[in-house]
Structure 1
Amino acid sequence: MSFENQTRDQIQTLLAEQRAHLEDLKGRGLSLDLTRGKPSAEQLDLSMALLDLPGEDYRAADGTDTRNYGGLLGLKELREIFAPILRAPVEQVVAGDNASLAMMHDNLVFALLHGTVDSPRPWGEEETVKFICPVPGYDRHFALTEAYGIEMIPVDLHDDGPDVAAVRELVKDPQVKGMWLVPTHGNPTGVVVSEAVAADLAALETAAPDFRIFWDNAYAVHHLDQEETKSADILGLCAASGHPDRPICFASTSKITFAGSGVCFLASSPANVAWYLKHLGKRTIGPDKVNQLRHARFLRDTEGVHQLMARHREILAPKFAQVISILADRLGGHGVAQWTEPRGGYFVSLDVVDGTASRVIELTRDAGVAMTPAGAAFPHGNDPRNRNIRIAPSYPTRADLEIAIDVLATCVLIAAAEQSLAS
């Protein structure tokens, strides 16, 4: 990407104009945050009724006193609500505490310490453990893998999911034990893994008998238009392909109810669920069942989840439309950026001129707008083209978002002009 049909003098004029505009924006004393996909206060207000639940009736449908110990699987009435979303039988769904990331962490650590149900030995006893990482991807997945010394192998993420041909070659290596994937409205691109790609991943012949797909369906119900995209049935596809233990699915209510006080879920094969609960039972006596009960009563049923998410959509969709509109208006005529127009999820992925993303982030920070670091969507924060920037529109007000994206677009133009003139 570069300036199209512009002379050097025109680029110099543009650079001077954008620098002057940025100085004007700096003069406003901005302190704006687009770093993470946090729900706004307006979204959190949608679930305030949770604070009045469960009231004096604290017993679950089966008579369980939710105030007491026990119940590693979690409350059945809540698992019944989310089983259709996870496309899993309720018996194969575990409801936990507030963070699906904690479940991912535990599954990774349990595999390193003990091996999985089909491991020849604990992963930690292997010379090397490798994970496939579709990019751009979720920075917290990569940070977790890095923390335990697992080698990360980037593969390109296409419009319908990861590059299956590349994955097929990589899994010929027995040290490749797994892969990360956000299948629906992926972070940060908004990509949805197609049923065909999911079927290919399910049918892969892998050198490692214990190869796992960590299927993080964090945005399964987070749609930005009324056509609600259904996640691929990875559990069914893997079972039909003779690999029932391959997928471990995760989800949570973190961006459905309260981000810090929600409930997380795991769904997998009966063998994997039993393995997980066996090791989980050494770490905890049971989840917060009072919180699970209040969620079950607040959401009522699966349709109640979709109804609540429709109210989220009313808040979020205009913000995403605002981001796309400003980017198109400010950058569309210059040929220096491309961006996604997601149909769901929490992010817009912006690609700027190669080699300039870190400069753009430096400029936005100096102007008072905090962004996720350049390269965050790649293992070790290393974007080989130094071009990808993640935009998180959810948290700011509409007024603040307009200013923040104006700052961002201005910085994209400055960085592109600086590089063009330096070449």
Structure 2
Amino acid sequence: MSFDDLSRDQIQALFDEQTAAYRALQERGLKLDLTRGKPSPEQLDLSNELLSLPGADFKDASGTDTRNYGGLTGLLELREIFAPIMRVPTSQVVAGDNASLAMMHDNLVFALFHGVPDSEQPWGVEESVKFVCPAPGYDRHFALLEEYGIEMVTVPMNADGPDVDAVREAVKDPAVKGMWLVPTYSNPTGAVISEAVAAELAALETAAPDFRIFWDNAYAVHHLTDQQTKTPDILGLCVASGHPNRPVIFASTSKITFAGAGVSFLGSSPDNIAWYLSHLGKRTIGPDKVNQLRHARYLGSTEGVHALMERHRAILAPKFETVVTILRDRLAEYGIADWTEPAGGYFVSLDVLDGTASRVVELTREAGVAMTPAGAAFPYGEDPRDRNIRIAPSFPSPDDLATAIDVLATSVLIAAAEQYLA
């Protein structure tokens, strides 16, 4: 029975019932956090063997002492493990330090100061610089652009990737220098870019000859089902379309091993890699090769990465099922919310009644459950419909997660009833 089928008295009764339940939840003094997609302690424990590596044998496969300076591209044996996951030749992969976000930042800043291959001048001296931003999307991508005054052009993110017609229209502007994209299990919707959409993006004619796709493949191996989605070969598609320098591909082990002590990766064309290293060499003499060596030995192979991710899946999949089950049981009959049921990644995206997301987040906070701010998945934090809420199920214990989603569902019902009664 949807809200539209209920009388005012019935909605008032539901509001009173949910308000009483909400007050009981408040009295429990909860302190729960669903704000960020952090691995749980149980997931981090899966890689505790790293803490005893590399031991006294600190030389890589070539005999290089990893304790010393140098090796700007990172260890070959680790790049060989992740190159197939990124779908980039090993020679075109750079292994860095713990955060792919830092690599994204450097690529952006280097472009602003120096331009990229294909640029006529540094991006920073252009009259304006813009990026296409599919939304809902990743708030940290948007924060980087906002930090450096780069204008964001919002396009819809569909189940098979960004709205290509909207992107095609946007790139007619020569100020549009790039776009963000999480191609597999997108943050926060879990969308997976199709081969057809990827091919269209690779072949787009853009007014800016130095247009870049920042392809953040953060969740390439983070499956929640038996179906292991394969990310499109964006580099190969771009080469075939005559735009070899267009994609800049990022990945990391942040949600594979230790979130704060992993390894990041960058893959792209030979020209882009040479350009990146030429500027990176002014910032660092080399990455943490000891950490790279212990990762190479612990993971062992590409197959070793997939085997570890199966163990992550055993911990994560039941949590996602808990979220979906509670939302379905508590909200489905009322027709006031929709949510994704992702096949991978780290988030569930919840859409509530237009104009109520901010109120829902406020209610959850006042009941002791922290959520990412409403609108965070949109450029400038502005959801034009005030309806989207990102749920991060990974960190809490199963019991705490169930309680938190119960608080969230109760808050959704209260906010919807308030709107109808108003």
- TM-score of the superposed pair, with normalisation by structure 2: 0.99
Who is 1:175 aligned against?
175
Answering whether residue 421 of structure 2 is matched by residue 414 of structure 1, we say: no
How far apart, in 2, do the equivalents of 1:8 and 1:282 lie?
A: 67
Matched residue, 2:58: 58
Q: Please give the alpha-carbon distance, in whole angstroms, between the structure 2 residues aligned to 1:2 and 1:202.
A: 43
Match of 2:148?
Answer: 148
Instruction: State the one-letter code of the partner of 1:71.
Output: G
Q: Which residue of 1 aligns with 2:14?
A: 14
- Residue equivalent to 2:401: 401
What whole-Å deviation, never above 9, does each CA across 1:186-221 have from its counterpart, x for those lacking one?
A: 000000000100000000000000000000000000
Describe how 1:1-400 pairs up with structure 2 within 5 A. Answer: 3-400=3-400
* TM-fit CA distance, 1:3: 1.4
CA distance in 2, matches of 1:263, 1:189: 25
Contact 2:2 2:333 in 1 (8 A): no
Deviation at 1:417, TM superposition (A): 0.3
The superposition leaves residues 293-326 of structure 1 with CA deviations (integer Å, 9 ceiling, x where unpaired) of: 0000000000000000000000000000000000
Q: State how far apart, in whole Å, the 2-side matches of 1:5 and 1:94 are.
A: 58
Matched to 1:223, the amino acid is: H
Supply the RMSD in Å over aligned alpha carbons: 0.8
- Aligned partner letter, 1:392: A
Q: Which letter does structure 1 place at the counterpart of 2:29?
A: G
Work out the CA distance in 2 between the residues paired with 1:20 and 1:280. 58
Could you list the per-position Cα deviations for residues 312-361 of structure 1 after superposition, in whole angstroms to 9, with x for gaps in the alignment? 00000000000000000000100000000000000000000000000000
Q: Please state how far the C-alpha of 1:4 moved relative to its aligned partner.
A: 3.0
Does the CA contact (< 8 Å) of 1:2 and 1:416 recur in 2?
no
Q: Secondary structure at 1:333's aligned position in 2?
A: helix
Question: Is the 1:69–1:285 Cα contact (8 Å) retained in structure 2?
Answer: yes
Letter in 1 for 2:408: L
Aligned-pair CA distance for 1:398: 0.3
Q: What is the Cα deviation at residue 99 of structure 1?
A: 0.1
- Between the aligned partners of 1:166 and 1:387, the Cα distance in structure 2 is 21
1:217-267 per-residue CA deviation (whole Å, 9 max, x = no partner) reads 000000001110010100000000000000000000000000000000000
Letter in 2 for 1:105: H
Identity %: 76
1:350-376 CA distances to partner (integer Å, 9 max, x unpaired)? 000000000000000000000000000
For the 8 Å contact 2:219–2:344, the answer to whether it is kept is yes
- Three-state SS of the structure 1 residue aligned to 2:16 is helix
Displacement of 1:2: 6.8
**TM-score, normalised by the number of residues in structure 1:** 0.99
**Is contact 2:156-2:162 (8 Å) kept?**
yes
In the alignment of these two chains, the number of paired residues is 422
Write the letter of the residue equivalent to 2:64.
Answer: T
Alpha-carbon distance in structure 1 between the residues aligned to 2:373 and 2:154: 18
Partners in 2 of 1:220 and 1:107 — Cα distance? 21
Code of the aligned partner of 1:138? Y
4+ residue segments displaced more than 2 Å:
none
Within 2, Cα distance between the matches of 1:176 and 1:238?
A: 18
Equivalent-residue separation in structure 2 for 1:23 and 1:170 (angstroms): 48
**One-letter identity of the residue aligned with 1:328:** R
Contact 1:2/1:353, CA 8 A, preserved across alignment: no
Whole-Å separation in 1 of the counterparts to 2:63 and 2:200: 44
Q: State the secondary structure of the residue aligned to 1:342.
A: coil
Deviation at 1:155, TM superposition (A): 0.3
1-side partners of 2:6 and 2:61: how far apart?
69
Preserved contact between residue 112 and residue 123 of structure 2 (Cα < 8 Å): yes
Q: In the alignment, residue 261 of structure 2 is paired with which amino acid?
A: S
Distance in 1 separating the partners of 2:174 and 2:117: 16
| SS of corresponding position for 1:134 | strand
Determine helix, strand or coil for the equivalent of 1:266.
strand
Q: Is the 8 A contact 1:348 1:392 kept in 2?
A: yes
